[in-house]
């Protein structure tokens, strides 16, 4: 590799997490400077870019009397334009797009001032750079997400003691650049973190400080929601401390499943309850006890009568979760039914006779001459075996299925 190591990839912690304002495309963003540096068109192929870089790096190499600053510019331009992702980011957002997340903070600044002159323009107007933020997962019960809750949590943070002094080794840069000649025309430029100051550019002593944070879980918060305490992370010299974020993790509930503001609860009913009605008492997430009572004549079906065989559901309007940001509007509570039918031989023949006369649409016996037809019975089966019958299959499978009694109905002559 001709340009081993990214001068801005020195493994610098404390890079600015996000914050590069890349969300919005600005019209004043420069997206041509890097192409001009390499002397290629904006739509140049990777090969052309590489060729141009090789040629320029040979003429401008400091070892051959070239200008070091110019050489660094060329190297940095190539580093970005030779990487598809970085090039795409640069084309869209300019240097802001490539000097954010994955490029060290100091590097990011250097990159900008490298091409636009120190102090020529600032990447962001929002004051000093920010240290790293910390995310803490926080498990929250569905009850607490429904009702809202304030939790007191203790955190330990590092606080700077006294005044930081500039690091003597890296002179406050936080990083040390090493240029090495690897062979004719082959150089590597490595930027690595200064080990004396740990990349901070400053040396100071820290003390640990214990802080109690009041974490407000708002009604209706969801999995992944962030509760932020700005500037509460460890103090870092010359930077604004990062944030402490608590990330909501919803605990599984034994009764309710949640999707958005809606709740789902599964109810098993017997065939009797499904046909003749039921009363069902449940405790809601706010402690209220609801008695769900079927209306007279209401029938619960095993599934929706559609091609998709959807589960049969009913709904309690406005008994779902409070909406996030608008707790007065609540979602709905869906009840999904499972109808438990009686097992074989569970109904005595006199009960069957009664049911036959009571239930609508009883079976009308077919007329046939037993000597003219074959009377057959059904065996239990699994639809997953459907299509695997017959002789055209591996013998093992066929054997297993026969043992299960799955698949084909066994013929049996009724006497």
**Interface segment toward Zn ion; rule CB under 5 A; list 97-105, 118-126, 189-197, 273-281:** 189-197
Q: Spell out the residues 6+ positions from residue 268 whose beta carbon is closer than 8 angstroms to its own.
A: 337, 338, 339, 340
Cβ at position 196, least distance to Zn ion in Å: 5
Q: Spell out the residues 6+ positions from residue 19 whose beta carbon is closer than 8 angstroms to its own.
A: 100, 124, 126, 130
Binding of Zn ion by 300 (CB under 5 A): no
Binding of Zn ion by 169 (CB under 5 A): yes
Q: Which is nearer to Zn ion, 106 or 285 (CB)?
A: 106
Cβ at position 14, least distance to Zn ion in Å: 12
Q: Spell out the residues 6+ positions from residue 61 whose beta carbon is closer than 8 angstroms to its own.
A: 71, 185, 187
Binding of Zn ion by 167 (CB under 5 A): yes
Tell me how many degrees the CA angle 390-392-398 measures, rounded to the nearest 5: 60
Q: Is 22 left (phi over 0), alpha (psi -120 to 50) or beta?
A: alpha
Binding of Zn ion by 170 (CB under 5 A): yes
Strand partners, 150: 216
Binding of Zn ion by 12 (CB under 5 A): no
Cβ at position 205, least distance to Zn ion in Å: 15
Binding of Zn ion by 194 (CB under 5 A): yes
- Total residues binding Zn ion (CB under 5 A): 6
Q: Which is nearer to Zn ion, 10 or 242 (CB)?
A: 10
Q: Which is nearer to Zn ion, 9 or 70 (CB)?
A: 9
Nearest to 194 by CA among 186, 185, 184, 202: 202
Given a contact cutoff of 8 angstroms between Cβ atoms, the answer to whether 104 and 239 are in contact is: no
Binding of Zn ion by 106 (CB under 5 A): no
**Interface segment toward Zn ion; rule CB under 5 A; list 164-172, 253-261, 346-354, 366-374:** 164-172
Binding of Zn ion by 196 (CB under 5 A): yes
Binding of Zn ion by 171 (CB under 5 A): no
Binding of Zn ion by 16 (CB under 5 A): no
- CB-neighbour burial class of residue 83 (10 A; exposed 0-12, middle 13-18, buried 19+): middle
Neighbours of 224 (CB within 10 A): 10
Residues forming contacts to Zn ion in the complex (CB under 5 A) are 167, 169-170, 194, 196-197
């Amino acid at each position: 590799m001709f340009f081993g190591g990214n001068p801005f990839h020195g493994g610098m912690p404390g890079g600015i997490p996000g914050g590069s304002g890349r969300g919005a495309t600005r019209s004043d963003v420069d997206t041509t400077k890097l192409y001009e540096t390499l002397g290629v068109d904006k739509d140049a192929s990777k090969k052309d870019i590489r060729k141009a870089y090789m040629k320029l790096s040979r003429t401008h190499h400091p070892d051959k009397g070239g200008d070091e600053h110019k050489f660094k510019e060329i190297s940095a331009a190539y580093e970005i334009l030779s990487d598809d992702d970085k090039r795409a980011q640069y084309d869209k957002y300019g240097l802001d797009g490539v000097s954010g997340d994955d490029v060290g903070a100091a590097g990011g600044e250097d990159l900008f001032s490298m091409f636009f002159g120190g102090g020529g323009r600032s990447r962001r107007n929002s004051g000093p750079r920010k240290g790293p933020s910390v995310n803490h997962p926080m498990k929250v019960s569905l009850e607490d997400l429904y009702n809202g809750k304030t939790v007191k949590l203790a955190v330990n943070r590092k606080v700077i003691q006294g005044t930081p002094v500039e690091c003597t080794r890296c002179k406050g840069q936080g990083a040390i650049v090493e240029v090495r000649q690897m062979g004719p025309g082959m150089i590597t430029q490595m930027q690595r973190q200064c080990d004396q100051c740990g990349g901070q550019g400053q040396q100071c002593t820290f003390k640990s400080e214990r802080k109690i944070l009041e974490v407000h879980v708002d009604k209706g918060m969801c999995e992944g929601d962030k509760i932020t305490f700005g500037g509460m992370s460890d103090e870092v010299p010359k930077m604004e401390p990062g944030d402490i974020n608590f990330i909501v993790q919803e605990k599984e509930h034994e009764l309710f499943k949640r999707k958005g503001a809606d709740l789902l609860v599964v109810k098993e009913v017997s065939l009797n309850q499904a046909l003749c009605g039921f009363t069902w008492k449940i405790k809601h997430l706010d402690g209220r006890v609801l008695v769900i009572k079927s209306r007279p004549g209401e029938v619960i079906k095993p599934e929706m009568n559609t091609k998709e065989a959807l589960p049969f559901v009913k709904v309690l309007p406005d008994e779902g979760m409070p909406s996030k940001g608008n707790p007065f509007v609540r979602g709905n509570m869906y009840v999904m039914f499972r109808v438990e039918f009686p097992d074989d031989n569970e109904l005595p023949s006199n009960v069957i006779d009664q049911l036959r006369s009571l239930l609508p649409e009883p079976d009308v016996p077919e007329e046939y001459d037993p000597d003219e037809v074959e009377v057959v019975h059904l065996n239990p089966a699994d639809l997953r075996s459907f299509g695997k019958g017959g002789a055209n299959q591996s013998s093992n499978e066929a054997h297993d299925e026969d043992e299960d009694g799955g698949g084909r109905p066994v013929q049996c002559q009724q006497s």
